[in-house]
Amino acid sequence: MAVVIPKEEWELSPFAYVFLFLSCSSSVFLLPCFSRKTSAPAAAFDAGPTAPFLRFQRSFLFIYSLASVMEGLELVFGEQEFAKYGFSREQMALCLAAGAAAALFLGTFSGILADVIGPEKACLLFYVLHFFVGILKSISSHPSIWVTGICLSLASSLFSFSFETWMVTEHEKQGHRQELLSDTFWLMIFLGSTSLIVSQALANLLVKDLNKAFLSPYTLASLLAMMSVLYMRKGWNGARHQSSILNYKKAFTGHILKDKKLWLLAWAQTSIHFSMSIFWILWAPTIVADGRDVSLSHIYPCFLGSRMLGSSAFPWVFGGSSSLRSEDCLISVFVVAGLSLLIVAYDYQEIGLLVVLFCIFQACVGLILPALARLRTIYVPNELRGGMISLSLAPANAAILIFLIQGGYHHNIENAAVMALSALGLLSAAGCIHLLRRWKKQPRQNWHKL
């Protein structure tokens, strides 16, 4: 008589959600009380002289949150959608590799194009791509996964720089104080993570079965794209000076390619982008590698909540007026993020410890992203911001493409090796910020218009 051994199912403690919710809420709602002792952070929460800025900030954050919901709705099904169309693991890897190739060869130059034609038009292209993908998936029972994957990958590339560039350009055009940008940066990460959680909840409400739905998540994404375009054209219709390719090339070479400080900043951006992409690819296979049943959909919001906690801690950690102190903090956060992934790569841990390490990494990401955006404001001219960001992501996209082909398709690279590589990249980014701190800081002056 055979012995039946029941499967062990690991469950996340509900206390984790309570802790993250209370921590994020306390961090956000207590900030105005404590920030009044300083100058910059308090301004973003007070009315009066900053009322025009608050209207501008809230309008931008609203449309940015809608864009984040669209990103989440199109990607919420993930591997389940591939399985629906009968894709094998190798075919899934090839499809993801096609998206990485699109991000590498098209996304790299999209930032330069956005700087030339204006970030507002780049945002419009982002909406057009999501509208096209949503309509295609809604009207076709078997849409081309290759086409939709490439379009969504290009849309994600545009999302990584176009909204930030647009916001910074409008912020300066409307004459708001530069120190208020930091508040918008961390709120972008906070609300973006919140929107991704909302997109997962909306997808679960809209559809239980991909084959049976009156209003699918794809249709909702198309509707949100149309709404966003109408809202954007109504409230953000200011004209922007466009530059010629020749003038832009000359300026980009002089201000970006020949500045060693920007190479250091670009490598830090490359490292965090590569580690984030590798994390979202490998976190689920790493957790279920021992064969135990785990409810991954319950862990996913915990990671986003950790990123929200990290971003809400940004004004507390980086709120001082000393930029030297801010860069010291950024070095420490990069080191912690790198070590958290290095522990995972070195030796497999229990699921509970894995979740904790991944949450620490996501909290560090929530701190790093607005800090890097703040440094870009110091070192990068607004008119070159999109090109700088997209160019800095090219090495990361190339590395992801190699990993998906050699690791996901040919199985020549172990997941632990890729995780270790991303950890070493984060540690090297800490070294880059250290060198950036040591070199004499030369904030950019008012750059001549192209």
- How do residues 132-190 score in pLDDT, each as one tens digit? 998 888 787 666 778 888 899 999 999 999 999 999 999 988 888 888 898 999 999 99
Predicted confidence at residue 433, as pLDDT, reads: 93
What number is the average pLDDT over the span 362-389?
Answer: 93
Give the mean pLDDT of the chain.
83
Max intra-chain CA distance, the chain: 83
What is the number of structural domains in the chain? 1
Question: Is 328 within a domain?
Answer: yes
Q: How does 274-294 read in b/e, with b if 16+ C-beta sit within 10 Å? A: bbbbbbebbbeebbeeeeeeb
Question: Is 32 within a domain?
Answer: no
User: Which helix (H) or strand (E) segment is 100 a member of?
Assistant: helix 89-102
Q: Could you report the per-residue pLDDT of 49-101, keeping only the tens digit for each?
A: 567 888 899 999 999 999 999 998 877 666 667 767 777 778 888 888 888 99
Torsion angle of C-alpha atoms 349, 352, 358, 361, degrees rounded to 10:
-100
Window from 24-38, 306-320, 332-346, 368-382 with minimum mean pLDDT: 24-38
Predicted confidence at residue 2, as pLDDT, reads: 40
Mutual orientation of helices 108-117 and 119-139 as an angle, nearest 10°? Answer: 120
Question: Is 5 within a domain?
Answer: no
Predicted confidence at residue 239, as pLDDT, reads: 46
- Sign of the torsion formed by the C-alpha atoms of 154, 210, 409 and 344: positive
Residue 28 has pLDDT above 80, yes or no: yes
Residue 214 has pLDDT above 60, yes or no: no
* Cβ atoms of 286 and 344 closer than 8 Å: yes
Residue 293 has pLDDT above 90, yes or no: no
How many percent of the chain have pLDDT more than 90?
42
Nearest-Å Rg of the Cα atoms of the chain is 22
Residue 215 has pLDDT above 90, yes or no: no
DSSP letter (8 states) at residue 45: T
Predicted confidence at residue 1, as pLDDT, reads: 38
Residue 15 has pLDDT above 70, yes or no: yes
CA 138, CA 143: separation in Å to the nearest integer?
A: 9
Question: Is 352 within a domain?
Answer: yes
| pTM attached to this predicted model | 0.89
Predicted confidence at residue 64, as pLDDT, reads: 95
Question: Is 445 within a domain?
Answer: no
Under DSSP, is residue 9 helix (H, G, I), strand (E, B) or coil? strand
Question: Is 196 within a domain?
Answer: yes
Question: Is 110 within a domain?
Answer: yes
Residue 441 has pLDDT above 90, yes or no: no
- What residues have CB less than 8 Å from 3, skipping those under 6 apart? none
Name residue 40's amino acid.
A
CA 390, CA 123: separation in Å to the nearest integer?
A: 14
Tell me the CA distances in angstroms from 390 to 37, 61, 106, 150, 189, one per residue in order: 38, 22, 10, 16, 18
* Cβ atoms of 303 and 359 closer than 8 Å: yes
CA 143, CA 135: separation in Å to the nearest integer?
A: 10
| Residue 30 banded pLDDT, cuts 50, 70, 90 | confident
How many percent of the chain have pLDDT more than 70?
83
Predicted confidence at residue 395, as pLDDT, reads: 94
Question: Is 38 within a domain?
Answer: no
| Residue 265 banded pLDDT, cuts 50, 70, 90 | very high
Q: Show the domain range for 380.
A: 45-235+244-438
CA 401, CA 410: separation in Å to the nearest integer?
A: 12
Predicted confidence at residue 47, as pLDDT, reads: 45
What number is the average pLDDT over the span 106-116?
Answer: 89
Torsion angle of C-alpha atoms 342, 406, 362, 298, degrees rounded to 10:
-110
- CA atoms within 13 Å, Cβ hemisphere of 367: 27
| Residue 225 banded pLDDT, cuts 50, 70, 90 | very high
CA 219, CA 298: separation in Å to the nearest integer?
A: 25
* Cβ atoms of 437 and 331 closer than 8 Å: yes
Neighbouring C-beta atoms of residue 424, cutoff 10 Å: 16
At 14, list the tokens.
């509900």
| Residue 41 banded pLDDT, cuts 50, 70, 90 | very low
Tell me the CA distances in angstroms from 324 to 427, 435, 440, one per residue in order: 19, 12, 11
Predicted confidence at residue 138, as pLDDT, reads: 79
What number is the average pLDDT over the span 190-197?
Answer: 94
The residue with greater pLDDT, 1 or 99, is 99
Predicted confidence at residue 162, as pLDDT, reads: 93
CATH of the domain at 415: 1.20.1250.20
Predicted confidence at residue 297, as pLDDT, reads: 80
What number is the average pLDDT over the span 88-115?
Answer: 87
* Cβ atoms of 161 and 114 closer than 8 Å: yes
